[in-house]
Amino acid sequence: MTTRTNTGEALVPAPTQRIALAKLMPAFHKAMIELDRAASDGLDPDVRELIKIRASQLNGCAYCLDMHTRDARSRGMSEQKVIGVAVWRETPFFTARERAALALTEAITHLGEHGVPDEVFDEAAKVFDEQELSRVMGMAIAINAWNRIGVASRMSPAHRHG
């Protein structure tokens, strides 16, 4: 059966998932869940979701992007803010802390040959104490790992929503 939009147009099916790491490597999957939990512990929930959304956008992980935009909306984040993450520099929707977290997430996600620029790290260090900053970094690192799992195995929102 072909799924159709409300105008009757057929939807293109999602790519076939290559491999199910969670089933084949349950200990690895459990460790990833624990990594995510450790990174999330004590981190502002809105900042956490913004980090996950932005890294997932940059990495092209449809599965994670779908999951974390849904999570952000269910937490009460405005649609304007969820959509605005992709263009956060050009919008007035984000606090200084959220902007610093987004910039640091981008730098960690796009590690160039020179690493995370000092000005990006220093700006984040101005608005987060060391504990919070370590959580922001940990969350960016964790979601990048999840994104690599999702992209490499071709996970899709269709695999969760059937």
Give per-residue pLDDT as tens, 48-61.
999 999 999 999 99
pLDDT at 96 over 70: yes
Q: Tell me the DSSP string of 88-100.
A: GGG-S---HHHHH
> Residue 10's beta-bridge partner residues?
4
CA–CA dist 5, 23 (Å, integer): 32
* Candidate from 13-22, 83-92, 123-132, 137-146 with smallest mean pLDDT: 13-22
* Closest by Cα among 29, 152, 45 to 101: 45
> 26-74, pLDDT tens digit by residue?
999 999 999 999 999 999 999 999 999 999 999 999 999 999 999 999 9
Mean pLDDT of the chain: 91
CA–CA dist 39, 66 (Å, integer): 20
Residue 48 near residue 139 (C-beta atoms within 8 A):
yes
pLDDT at 161 over 60: no
- Name all domains of the chain by residue range, CATH numbers in brackets: 45-157 (1.20.1290.10)
